[in-house]
Amino acid sequence: MSNITWFITGGSSGYGLALARYALGRGYNVVATARSIAKLTALTAIAPDRVLAQKLDVTVTADADNAVKAAVARFGRIDVLINNAGIYPRQNFLEMTEQQWDEMQDINLKSMFHSMKAVLPHMVAQKSGKIVNISSVTFHLGMATLSHYVASKGGVIGLTRSLAREMGPYDIHINCITPGAIKTAAEASVVTDEQAAQFLASQSLQRRIMPIDVARVCLFLSCELSDGMTGQVLNVDGGWVMH
């Protein structure tokens, strides 16, 4: 078995759960985090010796620090950080409250500040590491009723590029994925069948993009195949946006 350790935020559903299962299938150790450890029970059961479930409210600095300390104590190191936690509520801008705006930035963007502040000292000390930040293709598109979301995801791209410059001398690679319309339970809760059909019609590939598609690109960005890349943004959107 591999001694590589992945640390995944938002590991109980959607992309995060797919990432955790995929990493376990490759023989990696996985630190899966969520606000509720109970939601991680099924994942822990897959490989108890290689999964560490940790409570992590991504808006709380102490939670990030404690989860990283527990990960290092259990597995000795963190090789890969996947910043995946996020929310996706829609709201018309003129009806949006300051609280709704702040909550979006806290969970989708500031959370990455917390996790990277906790993980990066360990990666700097070991002079290696891969970080993949999950943004969104909506940054390239712009979308009505998602101004707070798109702003947060644009911030993720800016943070990725800046830290890629700063951390390069330590052989730490920081890249970003912008998923398109991915078929998840979270999507189904906010997107109608008609909207999903419209998304599909906008793609070049005429199939729904699935969480496993995102997981595979995360693997690429997390292994030696991407050793020549940092500060990059990769669309996983079925050919919706082409940059």
Catalytic residues: 149
> Which amino acid is present at 86?
G
> Which amino acid is present at 119?
V
Summary count for the chain: helices (H), strands (E): 10, 7
Where do runs of H (alpha helix) occur along the chain?
Answer: 14-25, 41-46, 61-75, 98-105, 111-126, 138-141, 147-167, 185-190, 193-202, 211-222
Tokens of 160: 């990725």
Q: How far is it, in rounded angstroms, from Cα 21 to Cα 8?
A: 11
> Which amino acid is present at 161?
R
DSSP assignment, residue 182? B
